[in-house]
Amino acid sequence: MPVINRIADFSDEIAAWRHDFHQHPELLFDVHRTAGIVADKLRAFGCDAVETGIGRTGVVGVIRGRSNAGGRVIDLGADMDALPIMEATDVPYKSKTPGRMHACGHDGHTAMLLGAAQYLAEMRNFDGTAVMIFQPAEEGGGGGDAMVKDGLMERFSVQEVFGMHNMPGLAVGRFALRPGPMMAAADRFTITVEGRGGHAARPHDCIDPVLAGSQIVNALQSIVARSVDPLEAAVVSVTVFKAGDAYNVIPQTATLGGTVRSLSPTVRDLCETRVKAVAETVASAFGATARVDYSRGYPVTRNTPEQTAFMAAVAAEVAGAGAVDDDIPPLMGAEDFSYMLERRPGAYILLGNGDTAGVHHPAYDFNDAAIPYGASLWARIVETGMPAR
């Protein structure tokens, strides 16, 4: 079962939808235009039910097969939001909103799932129920979590969940995934170092939070190097350091911020404990104090073995046996589809985007050549997982 001919026939139409979304990027939960178009198209395709406002601005389309014998329900998920980035491409469908762009390919994800919905609603070549989920606020807003907390799984009797994301650097027509931890948990911290400010010419009368903060940055790197098992994975990155406004003043405070990534609950707990202990004790050694605000974000994206093997097999039918890597190394990026995988068995797969700029880069653009592969995989997951009798 290669790329579906019917989907290939209207892939230009899917690309046109994608270009429209690309021209009108929306952020986080404020995806009202995109969600409205998605809902309208799902109704026009003949979906059996279309519900909006789930998780604030999420959309769900339900397509029932020829028979619902056995009651199997498969969820396919896509994201709709863009990023606050100034676009640096010269494509004719460039963003019309300065400072916003689809720099992660969610325009392509949404369009591909719509293409699969159109095909499935037209053909109905399956027994069971396909639930098409379009979520807001993947880019840091936890839209997947919001939809789950709004009763998504229970309201639509979801039994399995499948997600997909494009991958620059992976050739078009190829897929990649793995069982177990696929992507990392993403936490963040803010460390406020309190010293005693004063004149920069009299440092002995001060407690310098810049010096203490600098030593905290260095010491935080010891967490991965010396506290985490070398056979485990973790990242601790300080990405913010703010202190002072004048050249001749030692400031009263310094603020550090950063992210922690991990692939297991044990390492996640360890990193949180160590970030707090290191910051507080190092600051104390310099006569300063440190207050650590640590917040947990997206959990680990964890694929269940059975659904991973199934998704890999279907991808191989679409793209060819040699076009699927089913045991890639985990990635330390994060994905809020993880909230859905926490509630139901499922899998998350990467779709080749070719030799393009990386995601979250101002020159990134989703590759339209990937559309037939992604939309066909969605459709075949439903048809293969719930075959018509």
Residue of 26, 75, 81, 272 marked catalytic: 81
368 has catalytic annotation: no
| CA atoms of 310 and 326, how far apart (whole Å) | 11
Q: Are 211 and 287 in contact (CB under 8 A)?
A: no
Q: Is residue 138 domain-shared with residue 16, that is, in the same domain? A: yes
Helices (H), 141-198: 143-149, 152-155
138 has catalytic annotation: yes
Here the CATH number for the domain that contains residue 273 is 3.30.70.360
In the chain, how many domains are there? 2
| CA atoms of 41 and 115, how far apart (whole Å) | 10
Q: Is residue 166 domain-shared with residue 20, that is, in the same domain? A: yes
Q: Are strands 160-167 and 73-79 parallel, antiparallel or unpaired?
A: parallel
pLDDT values of the chain reduced to their tens digit, one per residue, 389 residues = 589 999 999 999 999 999 999 999 999 999 999 999 999 999 999 999 999 999 999 999 999 999 876 679 999 999 999 999 999 999 999 999 999 999 999 999 999 999 999 999 999 999 999 999 999 999 999 999 999 999 999 999 999 999 999 999 999 999 999 999 999 999 999 999 999 999 999 999 999 999 999 999 999 999 999 999 999 999 999 999 999 999 999 999 999 999 999 999 999 999 999 999 999 999 999 999 999 999 999 999 999 999 999 999 999 999 998 999 999 999 999 999 999 999 999 999 999 999 999 999 999 999 999 999 999 999 999 999 999 88
pTM, to two decimals: 0.94
Residue indicated by tokens 């170092």 = 193
- Residue type, position 373, single letter: Y
Q: Is residue 275 domain-shared with residue 313, that is, in the same domain? A: no
| CA atoms of 352 and 366, how far apart (whole Å) | 10
- Of the candidates 276, 296, 316, which is a domain's last residue? 296
* Start-to-end C-alpha separation, the chain: 18
* Closest among 329, 327, 289, 331 to 309, alpha carbons compared: 327
> What number of residues does the chain have?
389
Give me the phi and psi of 331, to 5 degrees please. Answer: -105, 145
| CA atoms of 21 and 34, how far apart (whole Å) | 7
- Of the candidates 296, 323, 350, which is a domain's last residue? 296
Q: Is residue 289 domain-shared with residue 151, that is, in the same domain? A: no
| CA atoms of 103 and 89, how far apart (whole Å) | 10
Q: Is residue 279 domain-shared with residue 333, that is, in the same domain? A: no
Alpha carbons within 13 angstroms on the beta-carbon side of residue 267 total 25
| CA atoms of 18 and 111, how far apart (whole Å) | 5
* Closest among 263, 345, 248, 274 to 300, alpha carbons compared: 263
Query: Which domain does 245 fall in, by range?
Result: 185-296
Q: Is residue 159 domain-shared with residue 280, that is, in the same domain? A: no
Q: Is residue 155 domain-shared with residue 53, that is, in the same domain? A: yes
Strand partners, 52: 59
Q: Are 319 and 176 in contact (CB under 8 A)?
A: no
Residue of 138, 160, 365, 383 marked catalytic: 138
Q: What is the largest CA-CA distance in the chain?
A: 84
Enter the tokens of residue 3.
């790329």
Q: Are 377 and 315 in contact (CB under 8 A)?
A: yes
